[in-house]
C-alpha cells in the first residue's frame, strides 16, 4: 500500500513540475542564427526546459535545437520577444513572465 501511495505522489509531482516550463511562440520573419546554427524564417517555440537550458523548436525540418542560457540580470518586466544582434544572431529571449535569458554560445 505504501509503495502505491509513494508512486502516485511521484507521478503527480512529475506532472506538476512539467507545468512550470515557460514557453513562448514567435514568428521570426527572417533567417537568423542561434548558438552558431543558422535557422530559416518561420514560427518558433522557445521553451526553458530547466534553468539554463532553452529548447528552440521550429516548424521547418532541421530547425530545432537546444542551447545553454543564463539570466540577463535585467529585472524590468517586458513583453515576450526576441533580441537579435546586427548580424541577426539571436542574443536574448524574453519569456511571458518577464524573465529574460541570454544565449551563452552565440
Nine-digit cell at 36?
552558431
Confidence at residue 10, expressed as pLDDT on a 0 to 100 scale: 38
Q: Which has the closest alpha carbon to 73: 92, 47, 88? A: 92
Does a structural domain hold residue 15? no
Domain presence at residue 3: no
| Model confidence pLDDT, tens digit, residues 39-68 | 999 999 999 988 899 999 999 999 999 999
Residue at 8 is within a domain: no
Give the chain's residues under pLDDT 50. 2, 4-19
Residue 5 in any domain: the answer is no
| Residue 13 maps to a domain | no
Q: What is the pLDDT at residue 50?
A: 87
For residue 32, being part of any structural domain is answered with yes
* Number of domains making up the chain: 1
**Structural domain of residue 81, as residue ranges?**
21-103
Amino acid at each position: 500500500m505504501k509503495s502505491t501511495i509513494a508512486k502516485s505522489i511521484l507521478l503527480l509531482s512529475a506532472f506538476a513540475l512539467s507545468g512550470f516550463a515557460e514557453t513562448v511562440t514567435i514568428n521570426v520573419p527572417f533567417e537568423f542564427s542561434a548558438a552558431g546554427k543558422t535557422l530559416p524564417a518561420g514560427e518558433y517555440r522557445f521553451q526553458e526546459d530547466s534553468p539554463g537550458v532553452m529548447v528552440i523548436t521550429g516548424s521547418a525540418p532541421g530547425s530545432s535545437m537546444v542551447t545553454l542560457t543564463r539570466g540577463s540580470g535585467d529585472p524590468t518586466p517586458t513583453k515576450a520577444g526576441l533580441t537579435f544582434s546586427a548580424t541577426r544572431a539571436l542574443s536574448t529571449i524574453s519569456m511571458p513572465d518577464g524573465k529574460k535569458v541570454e544565449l551563452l554560445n552565440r
